[in-house]
Amino acid sequence: MNQESLFEDLPEVDTGKYEASMLSNQKFCDQVEQSLVALGFCEAQGVPSQNEFLKNVPYTDMYGGIRKAAFLVQHQTLGAVRIEAHKQEQSGSVDQKFPFFLESLRLAPEQNLVILLGGKGYKQKAFDWIKTAASNIQDKQIKVFSDLDEFINFFVSK
């Protein structure tokens, strides 16, 4: 038996699901951006001033790698707010990534941090865990939202 025959029966990798997930997440980030614009924010050309935002802003994650947050917003009362936005419609591994999201975001330089989750592809127990864990962090203000409307209501109320 040669080695090639060992690989003949392997199933094809379904890249379509990954691509669909990435597209869904991009659409979610587009919705977040549209919501920010509707609230009077605009995209900055450099360092954001009040009521401006940047997209795909890098920071160092918990492993020392470079990660990009969806947005960095300069809010009129909160100051700089870094936003991680993730959407997953179908169950998968997103909730297994919650500890990574939380710990990495905690290491970002801003004091005000947001994890915004869209879709229903995560387990409720995982969501409850990340919300509780975020509220127990003393050195940063980390808010966790389960949908865009909840996030917008928070942002408007501040």
C-alpha dihedral (134, 124, 149, 105), degrees to nearest 10: 30
Which tens digits make up the pLDDT trace of 1-48?
455 555 555 555 544 544 555 666 889 999 999 999 999 999 999 999
Determine if residue 110 is left, alpha or beta; phi over 0 gives left, psi from -120 to 50 gives alpha, anything else beta.
beta
- Domain range list for the chain: 14-157
pTM of the full structure:
0.83
Can you name the CATH fold of 14-157?
Answer: Trna Endonuclease; Chain: A, domain 1 (3.40.1350)
Residue found by looking up tokens 């169950």 in the block: 91
Which tens digits make up the pLDDT trace of 110-138?
999 999 998 887 888 999 999 999 999 99
